[in-house]
Structure 1
Amino acid sequence: MSAGQIKNIEDLIPLGDGKKIVDYKIKHLTAPGENRGSVMLKVDFTVKSPTGNEEIHTAAKTVPPSELIQEVFNTPVTFRNEIAFYKKIVPLLQDFQRQHGIEEVIDFVPKYYGSRLNLKDDEGKVDQDAVLLLENLKVANYDTLDRTRGFDLDAAKLIITDLAQFHAVPLALKLEKPDVFEREIKPFLMLWTPKEQQRSEMSKQVSRLIDDIEELKSVKERILNAFDCNFTPRETRETFATITHNDCWVNNFLLKLENGKPVKSVMVDYQLCSYGSPARDIVFFLFSSVQDDVLRKHYDDLIKLYYQIFISTLEQLKCVTTPFTFEALKEEISNEARYSQFGHVTFMLYPIFFPQTEVQANTDCDALIFDHKIPDAHKQKFVSLVNEFIKRKWI
Structure 2
Amino acid sequence: MDGQIKKIDTLITLPGKKIQRCEVKRLTAPGENYGSLMLSLEITTEDSEKISLVAKAVPPNEFIQEYFMTSVTFRNEIVFYKHIVPTLQEFQRQNGVTEVIDFTPKYFGSRLNLTGSDKVDQDAVLVLENLKIQNYGTLDSTMGLDLDATKLILGDLAHLHAVPLAYKLHKPLDFATNIKPFLNDWTPNIHSNMKELISRFIDQFEQLKTLKTRLVEGFDKIKEYFPAREPFGTITHNDCWVNNNMVQLQGGTPVRNKLVDYQIASYGSPARDIVFFLFSSVKNDVVTQYYDRLIEWYHGIFVSELEALKCDTKPFSLEALKKEIDIEARDSQFGHVAFMLYPIFAVRKNIGDLSDLSPGNIFLDEVTDLHKEKFLFVVEEFVKRNWV
TM-score range, shorter chain: over 0.9
CA distance in 2, matches of 1:344, 1:215: 22
CA contact (8 A) 2:60 2:355 kept: no
Deviation at 1:358? 1.4
1:64 maps to a residue whose letter is: P
Superimposed CA distance per residue, residues 230-283 of structure 1 (whole angstroms, 9 cap, x where no aligned partner):
321123211100000100011100000000010000000001011110110000
1:358 matched to 2:350:
yes
Determine helix, strand or coil for the equivalent of 2:178.
Answer: helix
CA distance in 1, matches of 2:165, 2:375: 33
CA contact (8 A) 1:256 1:262 kept: yes
CA distance in 1, matches of 2:345, 2:355: 17
CA distance in 2, matches of 1:129, 1:353: 32
CA distance in 2, matches of 1:54, 1:251: 30
CA distance in 2, matches of 1:91, 1:158: 22
Paired position in structure 2 for 1:91: 86
CA contact (8 A) 2:341 2:371 kept: yes
Paired position in structure 1 for 2:268: 276
Superimposed CA distance per residue, residues 157-179 of structure 1 (whole angstroms, 9 cap, x where no aligned partner):
00001100110000000000101
CA contact (8 A) 2:187 2:222 kept: no
Gaps of 5+ in 1: none
1:48 matched to 2:46:
yes
CA distance in 2, matches of 1:357, 1:30: 14
2:18 maps to a residue whose letter is: K
1:59 maps to a residue whose letter is: V
Deviation at 1:23? 1.2
Among candidates 149, 153, 156, match of residue 162 of structure 1: 156
Superimposed CA distance per residue, residues 68-114 of structure 1 (whole angstroms, 9 cap, x where no aligned partner):
11001000000000000000000000000000111110001000000
1:310 matched to 2:302:
yes
Paired position in structure 2 for 1:38: 36
Paired position in structure 2 for 1:183: 177
Paired position in structure 2 for 1:6: 5
CA contact (8 A) 2:197 2:365 kept: no
Superimposed CA distance per residue, residues 12-38 of structure 1 (whole angstroms, 9 cap, x where no aligned partner):
222333x32111111111112211000
1:323 maps to a residue whose letter is: P
Paired position in structure 1 for 2:219: 227
Paired position in structure 2 for 1:218: 210
Paired position in structure 1 for 2:58: 63
Determine helix, strand or coil for the equivalent of 2:35.
Answer: coil
Relative to structure 1, the CA distance from residue 31 to residue 375 in structure 2 (aligned partners, 3 Å threshold; closer, same or farther) is same
Determine helix, strand or coil for the equivalent of 1:230.
Answer: helix
- % identical aligned pairs: 59
1:235 maps to a residue whose letter is: P
Deviation at 1:301? 0.9
CA contact (8 A) 2:64 2:357 kept: no
Within a 5 Å distance, the mapping from 1:376-395 to structure 2 comes to: 376-395=369-388
Relative to structure 1, the CA distance from residue 361 to residue 177 in structure 2 (aligned partners, 3 Å threshold; closer, same or farther) is closer
Deviation at 1:359? 2.1
CA distance in 2, matches of 1:12, 1:56: 15
Q: Quick check: 371-380 or 344-353, which moved more?
A: 371-380
Q: TM-score, normalised by structure 2?
A: 0.97
CA distance in 2, matches of 1:164, 1:54: 37
CA contact (8 A) 2:61 2:355 kept: no
Deviation at 1:48? 2.4
1:385 maps to a residue whose letter is: V
Deviation at 1:372? 3.9
Superimposed CA distance per residue, residues 149-204 of structure 1 (whole angstroms, 9 cap, x where no aligned partner):
12110000000011001100000000001011011101111010133xx2111111
Gaps of 5+ in 2: none
Aligned residues: 387
CA contact (8 A) 1:354 1:369 kept: no
1:124 matched to 2:118:
yes
Deviation at 1:360? 6.0
1:44 maps to a residue whose letter is: E
The alignment's C-alpha RMSD in Å is 1.3
Paired position in structure 2 for 1:134: 128
CA distance in 1, matches of 2:56, 2:15: 24
CA distance in 2, matches of 1:374, 1:383: 13
1:104 matched to 2:99:
yes
CA contact (8 A) 1:213 1:379 kept: no
Among candidates 245, 248, 271, match of residue 240 of structure 2: 248
CA contact (8 A) 1:32 1:363 kept: no
Paired position in structure 1 for 2:337: 345
Among candidates 364, 375, 388, match of residue 368 of structure 2: 375
Paired position in structure 2 for 1:324: 316
Deviation at 1:123? 4.5
Runs of 4+ in 1 over 4 A off after TM superposition: 360-363
CA contact (8 A) 1:284 1:344 kept: yes
CA contact (8 A) 2:138 2:245 kept: yes
CA contact (8 A) 2:150 2:282 kept: yes
Paired position in structure 1 for 2:283: 291
CA contact (8 A) 1:31 1:360 kept: no
CA distance in 2, matches of 1:375, 1:394: 25
CA distance in 1, matches of 2:146, 2:194: 29
Deviation at 1:361? 7.6
